[in-house]
Structure 1
Amino acid sequence: MHTRLNPLTQEKGAVALATMGILLSIVSLSLWVVSQRLTNELQMVKRGLAYNQAYAQLHARHASVAMQLRTADINTLQSLESEQLDIAYQTFINSNNTRSVLFTVTLSLVSPSLHIKQDFFRFSSLFWFPLQAVTSDQSNLTQKLFNRDFEPLSASHFQHILEAQKLGSQEAPSRQAMSKESVIWVEGDWELPDDTHLGSLDAPVLVIIKNGNIALGNRASFYGLLVQLDAESNRRNATLEHGAKLFGALVTNAQLTLNNYGNIMYEKNVLSALQQRAELQNIYPVPHSWNDFD
């Protein structure tokens, strides 16, 4: 005996199977779409992370290049350049006869494609120097010299400072320079011992004595600028013993008592060389000059 299926039942079963197939196809398509979106978003996140990492690396290198440019000789800038680094510059002679340099630094990456450009301005910490051997000036001397008021001015304003106590603790042999530093900051009295030689025609030194007296010992020699600063313009002494020589200048805001048994010779070329010494240069980013592009 054979059982006959109802045609209507068969038709309903076929429809159900077809519907299930369609639903499975829709689910599969939805899963594929979601998978593609997740893959694309993951790739975007990876690209974003790579871009941010590259950006941070270029930014850090920009700062490193700027520090190199602070003391770099503009005639040897090609030694710093590479496929990723381009440096352009302009030089300016200021009204005080100092030379300033405007650098444009561009760093580039191929993958990811990224370029960063910024301008940096380099100038000397020594804005002005006196026009005679000994100068007493109580009209805000630090503003003229360093573009700083007296109180904020400190050793941290300068680069590569040799602390006074280190200088005092060293035994400097005769005919030998006490230090290769370009700036010496002293709190209190400062003395250049007998037969000691500090600075040279090509490498003069800036010595700043705050609230102290100055003494150059017998046969001592100094090339550069001595700056004697007193918080209240009190009377201060500057003494050159027999045979002592100062090539450059002495400037003070104190009421000066000069005991000169040696020789003070005004040397403009020494002061100019001091003004251009690499260690005295400052470099700062030019505001609003930052530019990054793909």
Structure 2
Amino acid sequence: MKITRAIVVEPKAAGRRKLTDGLERAGLTVQATAEWEPASARAQLVVLGPSVEQPARVARGVREQLPQALVLAAQQTPGRAGFADGVLPLPVSARDLQVRLPELVKLRSLGRGTPPRKARIAPSPEPVRGASDGLLDPFTQFYVFSHFKDFVFVEVKRSRRYGLPLALALVAFDALPVQADRELREQLYGGLALAIRRALRDTDFPVQYSADRVLLLLPHTDLAGAHTVSRRVCERVARSSLSFDEQVLRPTVSVGLAALSPGGEGSFSDLVRQAQRSLETARAAGGNRVEMLAETPGLPSEDEPG
């Protein structure tokens, strides 16, 4: 099933506009409504906004009328939505959505098979959620690298073949004065995911590279552009604070950059090693900064305006 039409269900007008804009940038034809209206429904995708009351009940109504439709729950912070086929992190990344939709359709098909119509009315079953959990990190809702790596490799090869710039950033939290348990990690990485999605452009891709590293793939971007994006991430995180164990924590992140210049011959592994060394340099210098290796020219240093 190819998804070309979507319905947005969101009571708040501003939320409807933002969801509609994001889906339209992903190439979908969108109908937006404040509440579910089955009589006029014709779509392969239904997105339930964060302000929808009793979303599980609405999702059941959607499946009664559109048993083949994919149901996504739009969420500001990462989390599960057992009533839906998947979560749509906000703000919407059009390029991320273009990649994710075919995967979610495939997983939904594998999880549900082709049962009779009555069986499809029930909420999304456990097999679909379990499969989706393997694709997405539970804290950030970014693709895990083991799933997304083939796409990353293709982007690097395309950049080399056509002489296009490409940048890569590794993002990690700086040391905190407390030991992070699951609850704190959920708050930290949920906030980081939001900062990253708000800082990235539609053409960029965030990937959960490891348990404590987020990889940003920035196609058609040189080091100067990657530096600008990465500084936005650092600044957004540095403005935040959270309470934990009777303390107020002010987390920061460091970013290590690497880039493939037009005509460059570096591999993805080369870029990752370069970004990792740059990240280590940034953290050793005190954190809350963006660094790059000296052998990659074209970007102002932290002490220069840029």
Q: Under TM normalisation by the shorter chain, which class is it?
A: under 0.3
Q: TM-score, normalised by structure 2?
A: 0.24
Q: TM-score, normalised by structure 1?
A: 0.25
**Larger gyration radius, structure 1 or structure 2:** 1
- Structure showing greater relative contact order (alpha-carbon pairs closer than 8 Å, 6 or more residues apart): 1
More strand by share: 1
